[in-house]
Amino acid sequence: MVTLSSADVEKLFSGAPQYFARSQGYGTGAPHPSVAFPWDEDLRIRDLTDHTQIEDEAWGCVTAVPRLIQRDPLSATTPSGKRRPHFKVKTQERPNMLSMQGLEKGTMGYQAALELSVADALQEEQYGFDSLGSKSTVVVEQRQRLVTSKDGLRHMDDATVMEQLLRCEERYQGTDSEKQLNAHDLYNDLFTKVLYTPTKVIDYNDPRSLSVQIHALVKVLATSNAWIDFSRVEWRIRLGQVLWGFPLDDELDDGSSINEGLDDQDRSEERYWLLLQILLACELLLRLDAITEGDEFGGANLKASEVHRFEKEASLSVKWSLLLARTWLDNITVSKTEAPSSGMSTPKGWLTSLTSRMSLKHEHMHGSHHIDHTQHLHHGHTEYQYAIQGRFVERQIFGLTQFARKLRWPEVEEYITRVSMNAPIIAQATPISSPLPTSDTARSSYFGGDKKPAGLQRNPSRRPRIGAALHFSGWLSKSFVSGLVLPGEALSHFLMSTLLENDQEAMERLGPMANLCGGFVYNGKSFWSTACVVGRVLAAGRGSAECMGWISTDVSPEGFGDGWLNVDVKDIADDIAKIGKKARLWGKLAIERESDVLGDADSSNILPADFIIPHENNHPEPPPSNIRIDLKSLDLYSAVDSLQSTPVFEEPETPFSDFTQASNLQTHQASIAFTMTYDGVQGEQTLNLSLARDVYFVTAHPCAASSYVKYFKSPTSPTIQHIDLGSQDWNAKATAPAHITGHPLHKYYTYKPVHLLDLLKRPEITLEELLNIDQPIATTNSTSFTSKGPRILVIDCITGFAPPSSPEMAMLSRMSSISSSFGLSPTATQLQLPMPPRDVVDRPATAASAGSKISRIDPPSPDSKMKLPTRRRQFGSDLEILVRALCAERGWNAIISRRKRGCLACAIREAGALGWKVVIRVE
C-alpha cells in the first residue's frame, strides 16, 4: 500500500480544524488556545468559527481582543473619524468572551472551554482592597509613600485631577494637527502638574524623551497595594459602583469580601484615587500611542531594550489600567461649568456623579494633621464643577433595545418605544441622588449576612455568583449607558440590570434584589444566565433565544410565578481539581498531540489503512424507529424536600428585616420531566432527569469537507483501502450515494458510539464503565490498537429519532462568521454532488452497493461547496434538551457536534484537545 506524502496529507485534511495552545510571551499568563486551518488559503475556510460574532457596537466592549462587529443597518454607530495607529495592550480577559458564545445556544467555543480553568474570576482577591470606602493600613501607607516620595505623585486636589483628565481628552480626541504632541511639552506638563521630576537620569541622550516619561508613569502605576487591580473581575464590575454608587442603595454580592463602605463620605477618597489612577493611565496611554503613531510613520520609536523594559515593568495591573484608560478616552467626556454662586450643591444627574465637589482627607505619613483637598482650589478663583458623561448614549440605548429584541422581552416593542422616548431623560435629567421608593437610610443590607473575612482564598468553583440591588437609574445602568465597561462578564450583568431598571412593571413584579447568575420568571417566560446550568440546558430547545450571556425560553418552572430563582448544582470534582496551574491549558504539547490529525503516527510512514471514516450509528443492534421525545415540565424543589430552604444570600434577623424580606431568595434543585414513545412499545415512558451538576457544552468547530479526496473502502473492513487525491472526474459513475463524509480519523483515536436510548436504560452506569463494557470501534486487526480502550463516548441522537412534531422553527438566527459546507440553508437540507446516481436509496455512505467489493465515497464538488448564507436556521428540539439534561445529571461535559456543520472525526479530535470524553451527535 502506497504511503501518503506530506502534500497528500495536506489535501486529505483540507478544511479540517487543528487545535493549538501557544504562549504569547513574557508575563502573558497561561498559553493562548486557538483553532487554525494551516493547510488552507481559502478565506471562506480560514474564517470558520465556533462562536457567534458581536452583533451590536454597544456590545463591543465585552472583549479586549480585535473583533468584527456585524452591525444592524439601523443601529447608531460610533462616529468613526480618521483611524490612527494606537498602542495594543498585550492582555485580555479570560475566558475570551467571544468564545463564550458558541454557535449552538447555551454553549461556548474551544478557546473558552480551555480558559475556564484559568479564568480571571479564579484569582485571589486583591490584598487590602476589602472595602469600597477606607482601605486597610497597608494600602494607606503605600499611598502615603507615593505622595511623599521625591519622584512620586505631586499633590493634586480633585479639581486638578479633573482638569488634567479634560486635557487628556482634548489631546486624545484632537485632530491630526492637534495630536502632533511635542515630547518636551508633554514632559513639562507631566512633571510640573502630576509627577515629581525623576531623581535618576534614564536617558542621557534625551532626558525629556517619551521613554523617560513612560518609565516614570509605569513606575508609579506598578506600585503594589496602591491602585485597584482591574485584572480582578470583581473590580471590573464595581468600577461604576465607585463612581456612581451610594451605600445601601447599590449593594452587590459577588462572593468576595468587599464591603460597601460606611457612607458616601467614606467612599469619596476612593473615588478620588480611582480618578487619579485613570488620569495616570490616560497619560501613559497617550505617550504609548504617540510612539506607536511615530513608529508607524517613521518617527520617534522605542529601542528594543526599552520595549523589553516596559514589558517587564508593566505588570498585569498596569495593563488593565491601560485598558481602562482606553475605555475612558473612547467613551467618556468631561464637562466643566461654573458652580452656582450660592454654594449649594447641584443635584447629581444621570451619568454626572461628579457635579458636586469630592472631599478628600488624606493623612500624610509625617504628621498627624489632615489635608482637605477641597481647600486647594485654583488660586482661590471661581470654583468649577466637573461632570462625566457617556459620549455615545444613543449607541448604548440602541444596544439595550437590541438586547431586549433578541431575548424576546415581553411587549418588547412597547418597551423599546418607551426607552427610546425617555433616552434624553435617562442620559441627563434623572438625578442620581433620587431616593428609592423603598430606600431608608437606616435599613439593613439586602445581603445582611457577614461577608467572609478579607484575605481568604477564593472558592475554587468555576460557577460565578452575582447578587445586586436594583433601582431606577442605578449605578449598573449608568455603567452600561456611559459605555464605561471593561472586558469580561460584566457586560451581561449590566445589560440585564439596565433592561430591568428601565422597566417599571418588571421591577415591581420581580422585586429589587436580582440574582444575575441565576434566572427569573416574568410574564410567562423564564430568563436564565448562561452561568446557570438550567439556562445552558434549556437553550437547546426550539424557540429559545440567547443574547450576550442570557437565555430566554417559554419553559417556566411548574408552580412558580414572577420572581427570581436560584438553582443549586454540584461542581464536577475533576474540573475543580484542574484549575489554576493544574489546568489542562498549561499542557500545550498534550493538547496538540492528542488532537493531531495524524494521531501518534510517524509522519514519514502514513498509510490509507491507518484511517477510518467514523460514524455515530455503528451499533451492534439497530435502535427502534420513530422515537419521539416531548418535554413535559421543568420542576424546582427544595433540597431533599427539607422543611427549611437555604437562602442564596444568608441574612440574620435585624430590626429592619421587613425591608429585605422579599430579597430572601430560596435555593432550589432542578429537574426536567420528559415523555418518550417509539415503535414497538405501547404507551409513553416517563423520564425525569435532575440538573444536578455544573456541566458545560462546547460547539464542535465547523469544518469543510475536502474537495480533493475520494475514499475507497471494503465492506469487510472499517479502514480506508485507498485514497484518490488527484482525481476530479465528476462524471465517473458512483457506486454509493453522494454524501459529504467529512474527514478521516486516525486509528490512534478510539471511540464508542452509544445510542441515546441505551444510555437512558442504564441510569446508574458511569462513563468509565460505559467506555470499558465493549471493545472500541475497530479500525485494524493490529494488537496495539485492539488492546487500547475507547477514549471518547459518542452519543447518537440521530438514528431512529422522529423529526420534531412541528416542522416550523422560529426564525431567530444567530450569526457565524461563515457557514461551513455542513451548514444548512433555508431552502436545502443537504449538499449534493452535481451528478448523484438516481437509482440508489439513501443509506450510510460507507455501505457497498450490491455486487461491489469496494465502495467509493466521493467528495463535494468545488462548485457546490460553501455556497451558503452566513445566517443559519434555528436549531433545537426537546430531544436536544434531554441529552443535555442527561449530561447534567451524570456530570459529563460534552461537545455538541451537528452533522450538517462538522464531521464526527473533527469533533473527536477536539474532544482530545479539551481532554473531554463525550461527543453528542445531533442532526
Residue type, position 27, single letter: G
Residue 719 to residue 716: CA distance in whole angstroms: 9
Measured between its terminal Cα atoms, the distance across the chain in Å is: 36
Residue 720 to residue 857: CA distance in whole angstroms: 10
Q: What DSSP designation does 582 have?
A: G
Per-residue CA distances from 661 to 386, 444, 898 (Å): 39, 11, 46
Q: Give the pLDDT confidence score for residue 488 in this predicted structure.
A: 96
Residue 280 to residue 640: CA distance in whole angstroms: 54
Long-range contacts of 88-92 (CB under 8 A, 24+ apart): 89/64, 89/319, 89/322, 89/323, 89/326, 90/24, 90/25, 90/28, 90/311, 90/319, 91/28, 91/64, 91/231, 91/316, 91/319, 91/320, 91/323, 92/63, 92/64, 92/65, 92/487
Q: Give the pLDDT confidence score for residue 715 in this predicted structure.
A: 57
The position carrying cell 447568575 is 517
Spacing of C-alpha 339 from chain mean position: 43
Q: Which of 22, 25, 237, 17 is nearest to 109 (CA)?
A: 17
Q: Give the pLDDT confidence score for residue 24 in this predicted structure.
A: 83
Contacts of 460 (CB under 8 A, 6+ apart): 122, 576, 579, 580
Q: Which of 229, 100, 67, 52 is nearest to 489 (CA)?
A: 100
In the predicted model, residues of the chain with pLDDT beneath 70 are: 1, 74-84, 175-181, 247-251, 254-255, 257, 261-264, 295-302, 340-382, 425-462, 639-664, 708-741, 774-788, 804-874
Q: Give the pLDDT confidence score for residue 875 in this predicted structure.
A: 77
Q: What angle do CA 808, 811, 814 make, to 5 degrees?
A: 135
Q: Which of 403, 519, 505 is nearest to 467 (CA)?
A: 519
Answer for the pair 521, 556: CB distance below 8 angstroms, yes or no.
Answer: yes
Read off the C-alpha cell for 404. 431586549
Residue 376 to residue 267: CA distance in whole angstroms: 20
Answer for the pair 212, 310: CB distance below 8 angstroms, yes or no.
Answer: no
Radius of gyration (Cα) for the chain, nearest Å?
Answer: 30
Q: Give the pLDDT confidence score for residue 427 in this predicted structure.
A: 66
Backbone phi and psi for residue 308, each to the nearest 5 degrees, phi listed first = -60, -40
Answer for the pair 61, 327: CB distance below 8 angstroms, yes or no.
Answer: yes
Strand 525-529 versus strand 550-553 pairing type:
antiparallel
| Beta carbons within 10 angstroms of residue 67's beta carbon | 13
Q: What angle do CA 908, 909, 915 make, to 5 degrees?
A: 90
Backbone phi and psi for residue 525, each to the nearest 5 degrees, phi listed first = -120, 160
Residue 811 to residue 67: CA distance in whole angstroms: 26
Residue type, position 269, single letter: E
Strand 361-363 versus strand 792-796 pairing type:
unpaired
Biggest distance spanned by C-alpha atoms of the chain: 102
Backbone phi and psi for residue 921, each to the nearest 5 degrees, phi listed first = -105, 115
Answer for the pair 469, 250: CB distance below 8 angstroms, yes or no.
Answer: yes
Cα-Cα-Cα-Cα dihedral sign, residues 764, 766, 769, 774:
positive
Read off the C-alpha cell for 660. 429585605
Describe the crossing of helices 264-296 and 183-193 by its angle, rounded to 10 degrees. 160
Residue 352 to residue 478: CA distance in whole angstroms: 9
